[in-house]
């Protein structure tokens, strides 16, 4: 999620619940199944505060020891850039620096990590307990106005692109913006979707406005993903989550909705606060523009962020909120169209009890088992569905 506040740079705390608390049957299944998490914000955090993720890093939610304890096989590293970086012309540089960081991590620990560029490489590369690092670009801003940048980022390992993030950009409208720029995708955004299809890059509709999601699903010649989007059924009025109609449209074209864990997605109170935050930011920016136009000094952004956090503490959330989302998604969409995209290291530690780090996937498995889901269904949700979509997108690419 990477809400752009000071907490993005804050230390993250270790889990209160751990994989050791899950029943043996859940631990065994988590270790045996292929678990694919489509959204972990480790690279951005590395840019803010370095840590060696090949060993235990207590201030992070992702590292190799805990990933293996939780059974995580494929971790999509989020190459995140903010709207502010886009405005400052820094997004391209920031994206490449984060890709460098992921490559360095794999090179430093070749026995623990490997870069994953194709779903067909999973079985071979994960031998020996390696965690496979795929990469997704959260916010299409780094490509700028040059569609050829998509190929360059593909060559560096990017395998999905979230078209927009917290603000409207050159490609698409954001769900967080009250005023939309394009009423969906821009003309350039339509070209971007076609080029992503041609290259074999998954189109990610998380963070997009409703109109942009609808248009991206319709335009794409292959299934699309929502890399970390919950369902609005539980959070009325929160456009960042998917409506039933949009989720069904994604599924109807063969896509998959990856359920996140962050409180702001699955807790109605937290979702309302998050939506209010972006409204408050818009008002804050408008006031500052007025002050600057009048020749007066602008208000301090850091002070605004600190006051907002003090006034809006994140409500506690139970793991059942995530399980409810998964249950509803399976009932609505079918077991072939649901997956997981945690947003670990991207929500400033605001996660449910029992799902605090990558060590905690067995707790999710145990919850699904307790609710009567079959092993087949659980394996699909943990990673099988995402790998199927990735293969279809790769298969639909133009020959190179």
Cα–Cα distance between 173 and 9 in angstroms, integer? 26
Find out whether 216 and 224 touch, Cβ atoms under 8 Å: yes
User: 55-112 pLDDT, tens per residue?
Assistant: 999 999 999 999 999 999 999 999 999 999 999 999 999 999 999 999 999 999 999 9
Find out whether 208 and 216 touch, Cβ atoms under 8 Å: yes
For the beta carbon of residue 11, count every other beta carbon within 10 angstroms.
11
279-287 contacts, C-beta under 8 A, 24 or more apart: 279/178, 280/304, 280/308, 282/177, 282/178
State the pLDDT at residue 279. Answer: 86
Band the pLDDT of 10: cuts 50, 70, 90: very low
Cα–Cα distance between 288 and 272 in angstroms, integer? 24
What average pLDDT does this structure show over 153-170? 98
For the cut 90, the answer to whether the pLDDT of residue 185 exceeds it is yes
What average pLDDT does this structure show over 372-394? 98
What average pLDDT does this structure show over 37-50? 97
User: What pTM did the predictor assign?
Assistant: 0.93
For the beta carbon of residue 302, count every other beta carbon within 10 angstroms.
9
User: 133-148 pLDDT, tens per residue?
Assistant: 999 999 999 999 999 9
SS (H, E, C) 9-47: HCCCCCCCCCHHHCCHHHHHHHHHCCEEEEEECHHHHHH
Band the pLDDT of 175: cuts 50, 70, 90: very high
Cα–Cα distance between 37 and 139 in angstroms, integer? 18
For the cut 60, the answer to whether the pLDDT of residue 2 exceeds it is no
Band the pLDDT of 20: cuts 50, 70, 90: low
For the beta carbon of residue 292, count every other beta carbon within 10 angstroms.
11
Domains of the chain with bracketed CATH: 6-275+316-395 (3.20.20.140)
User: 253-279 pLDDT, tens per residue?
Assistant: 999 999 999 999 999 999 999 888 888
């Amino acid at each position: 999620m990477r809400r752009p506040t000071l907490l993005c740079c804050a230390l993250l705390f270790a889990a209160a619940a751990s994989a050791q608390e899950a029943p043996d049957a859940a631990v065994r299944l988590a270790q045996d199944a292929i678990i694919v998490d489509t959204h972990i914000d480790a690279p951005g955090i590395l840019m803010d505060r370095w840590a060696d993720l090949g060993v235990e890093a207590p201030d992070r939610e992702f590292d190799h020891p805990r990933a293996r304890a939780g059974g995580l096989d494929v971790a999509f590293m989020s190459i995140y850039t903010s709207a502010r970086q886009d405005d400052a012309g820094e997004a391209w540089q920031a994206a490449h620096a984060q890709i460098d960081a992921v490559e360095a991590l794999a090179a430093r620990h070749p026995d623990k990590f490997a870069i994953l560029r194709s779903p067909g490489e999973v079985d071979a590369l994960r031998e020996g307990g390696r965690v496979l690092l795929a990469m997704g670009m959260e916010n299409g801003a780094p490509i700028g106005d040059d569609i050829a940048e998509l190929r360059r980022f593909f060559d560096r390992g990017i395998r999905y692109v979230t078209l927009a993030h917290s603000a409207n950009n050159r490609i698409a409208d954001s769900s967080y913006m009250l005023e939309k720029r394009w009423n969906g995708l821009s003309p350039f955004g339509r070209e971007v979707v076609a080029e992503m299809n041609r290259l074999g890059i998954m189109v990610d509709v998380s963070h997009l406005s409703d109109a942009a999601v609808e248009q991206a699903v319709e335009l794409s010649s292959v299934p699309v993903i929502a890399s970390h989007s919950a369902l609005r059924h539980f959070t009325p009025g929160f456009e960042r989550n998917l409506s039933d109609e949009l989720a069904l449209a994604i599924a109807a074209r063969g896509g998959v909705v990856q359920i996140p864990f962050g409180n702001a997605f699955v807790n109605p109170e937290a979702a309302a606060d998050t939506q209010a935050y972006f409204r408050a930011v818009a008002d804050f920016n408008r006031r500052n523009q007025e002050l600057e136009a009048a020749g007066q000094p602008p208000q301090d952004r850091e002070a605004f962020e600190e006051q907002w956090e003090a006034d809006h503490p994140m409500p506690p959330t139970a793991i059942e909120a995530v399980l409810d989302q998964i249950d509803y998604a399976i009932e609505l969409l079918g077991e072939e169209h649901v997956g997981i995209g945690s947003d670990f290291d991207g929500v400033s530690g605001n996660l449910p009890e029992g799902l605090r780090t990558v060590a905690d996937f067995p707790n999710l498995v145990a919850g699904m088992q307790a609710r009567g889901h079959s092993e087949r269904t659980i394996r699909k949700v943990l990673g099988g569905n995402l790998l199927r979509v990735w293969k279809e997108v790769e298969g639909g690419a133009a020959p190179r």
